[in-house]
Amino acid sequence: MSLTDATSRPAAPSRLSGVPVMLAALFCLACLVCALGADWIAPYGEADLVAMPWQAPDLAHPLGTDQLGRDMLSRIIFGARTSIGLSLAIVTLAFMVGGAFGLAAVTLGGWADAVISRVVDLFMALPPLVLALLALSVSGTSLVTLTLVAAFIASLRVFRLTRALGVDIAARDFVDVARLRRDSTARIMWREILPNAAIPLISEFGLRFVFAFLFVASLSFLGLGVQPPTADWGGMVRENVGALNYGRLTPLVPAAFIALLAISVNLIGDYVVARRGGAR
């Protein structure tokens, strides 16, 4: 119970204004269009050397050029495809796997829960980057293995969150009622527990999406992520970081896009949560 002084004036109703959400949605839509239609939208090719390295923005290259003299705008547009596609695939997979195991653990309980949880603890004890390096050096670097490995690592945290949320819900009487009705485990997970955990999971999705971005970028830095010349926003920050020494702001361009997308995805997530009345 939050209390306020009775002498204070009524607080204006705090409402999530629609304008920032609209802008966020527009930005996400634009990124999606770029990702899908990069070949037609981008003025230059993804790997074309078109000018001198680290040129300042001008009419021909509105966002300047990168360390090899490739058009920054084109690379951002192509990078949207790699970065968003990859992150989306990683996070979606992570939520399907981690969420399913988390719900299964709380619904089955007992030894099933204990076994799954301890295995997850085991993997979480390893630093994620080391785990990824190990897995990628064994399996070889391709976009598919990268996605699978990153999704596995992200799914550990999704599992922990889903289980923490689910334990609380599975202890409620309506789950007992469903069990006494002999509903299947899958039905209890899907119909009774998941809908009550959905709202925190949705906001977590936005956050995990951003982390997946950064994770791919750090793998790229170590040469195990997205391979050149394929553009990805995280990798572009790293490639161009040297420009800061020469007083150029080039690496801030992809960084700004990462930040904008992160904020937009989270704004939309918060909006969904608020709309579904999740302030409980």
Which of 172, 186, 222, 244 binds other proteins (CB under 8 A)? It is 172
Stretch that binds other proteins, among 2-10, 57-65, 112-120, 216-224 (CB under 8 A): 2-10
13 sits near other proteins (criterion: CB under 8 A): yes
181 sits near other proteins (criterion: CB under 8 A): yes
β-pair partners for 49: 70
Which of 3, 52, 59, 125 binds other proteins (CB under 8 A)? It is 3
User: Three-state DSSP class for 71?
Assistant: strand
Cβ 260 vs Cβ 80: under 8 Å: no
Residue 10 beta carbon to other proteins: minimum distance, rounded to whole angstroms: 4
Stretch that binds other proteins, among 11-19, 43-51, 124-132, 221-229 (CB under 8 A): 11-19
Whole-number Å distance between alpha carbons of 240 and 257: 14
177 sits near other proteins (criterion: CB under 8 A): yes
Whole-number Å distance between alpha carbons of 79 and 125: 32
Residue 183 beta carbon to other proteins: minimum distance, rounded to whole angstroms: 7
192 sits near other proteins (criterion: CB under 8 A): yes
Burial class of residue 76, CB neighbours in 10 A (0-12, 13-18, 19+): buried
Residue 172 beta carbon to other proteins: minimum distance, rounded to whole angstroms: 5
Stretch that binds other proteins, among 80-88, 178-186, 212-220, 248-256 (CB under 8 A): 178-186
Could you tell me which residues come within 8 angstroms of residue 225 by beta carbon, excluding any fewer than 6 positions away? 141, 146, 216, 217, 218, 219, 232, 234, 235
Whole-number Å distance between alpha carbons of 29 and 80: 11
The residue whose two tokens read 């361009």 is 253
272 sits near other proteins (criterion: CB under 8 A): no
Interface residues toward other proteins, by CB under 8 A: 1-11, 13, 15, 172-174, 176-183, 191-192, 195-196, 198, 277, 279
